[in-house]
Structure 1
Amino acid sequence: MLNILSILFGIVSLVIVIPATIPMLGWANWFALPLIVVGILIGQMSSSNGGRNFCIVVLLIATIRLSLGGGFI
């Protein structure tokens, strides 16, 4: 159950992160980062690793996008 909840947090975060890859929308990643961290923590408590790994991938995408935009753009 926790794995499914972690995947849901990852999907909601991914829906926020994908449009944030467009220039001038990078600030939206800051809204997704807390959701991603919660998804990782919930996935860590699960017996399966799928949800946690999915959230980590989404976190990497958001972090790379933020670093390319200087943290804001």
Structure 2
Amino acid sequence: MGLISLLWGIVAMICMVVALIPLLGWSNWFLIPFAAVGAIIAALGILFSSPGNRGRAKTGLVLNGIVILVGIVRLGIGGGVI
């Protein structure tokens, strides 16, 4: 699950960079739930993996968390609220 959450976080991060382009802020409405699912997968990966193998899941959790925070801030400043 750690690898899945890491890849999910990378895809979400790439989509976040695209969502920062003006007039594409509406895509944050889809990006925030996408990253939330990735964060849930990462949390499950942390929960069910051994202590030595949690690095990928923790990185996935951090990446998805950053995407969620940036998406909420972007929507909050009016960059996607229609």
TM-score w.r.t. length of structure 2 = 0.75
1:33 counterpart = 2:42: no
Which amino acid is 2:22 matched to?
P
**Mapping for residues 1-73 of structure 1, pairs under 5 Å:** 2-47=1-46, 48=54, 49-69=58-78, 71-72=80-81
How far residue 46 of structure 1 moved from its aligned partner, in angstroms, is 1.2
Unaligned runs of 5+ in 1: none
How far residue 70 of structure 1 moved from its aligned partner, in angstroms, is 5.7
What is the aligned-residue identity percentage? 38
Unaligned runs of 5+ in 2: 47-53
Rounded Cα–Cα distance in structure 2 between residues aligned with 1:54 and 1:19: 16
Q: Are the aligned partners of 1:3 and 1:52 in contact in 2 as well (CA < 8 Å)?
A: no
Ranked by relative contact order (alpha carbons within 8 Å, sequence separation 6 or more), the top structure is 2
